[in-house]
Amino acid sequence: MVKDVAARAAVDDDGTLDPRVSALRAAVARCRRELAGYRGNLPDRHIAEDELSALAAAADAGVPDVPRLRRGLLVIAGALGSVSALAGALTEVRRAIELFGTPRPR
């Protein structure tokens, strides 16, 4: 039931998907593709892949939890280090997450 509410919240009144969710899905998909194509040695590749999968699932569920998105971004950035070949894709993920604004105070 909660997932249905979140999924509906991601759809505008006219039935179109929230553009922030669309941007996040596209950014995560790009990062996943570029990571899969990167043949260099990345000791924490599996961590980045797992976290990208989690971000994709969050986007598929509707409007995601902003603090969770930000933590995921930090995990991915830490796992990828400073690999310049993946910097553009990671920047796109960061920008997509920023579209959701700042997290609410706890």
Calpha distance 82→84 (Å, rounded): 6
Q: What is the pTM assigned to this prediction?
A: 0.82
**β-sheet bridge partners, residue 17:** 11
For residue 50, the model assigns a pLDDT of 98
For residue 48, the model assigns a pLDDT of 98
Asked if 3 and 62 count as a contact pair (C-beta separation under 8 A), the reply is yes
Four-CA torsion 31, 37, 38, 43, nearest 10 degrees: 80
Residue by residue, pLDDT tens for the chain (106 residues) are 344 444 445 665 566 789 999 999 999 999 999 999 999 999 999 999 999 999 999 999 988 899 999 999 999 999 998 899 999 999 999 999 999 987 666 6
Calpha distance 12→17 (Å, rounded): 6
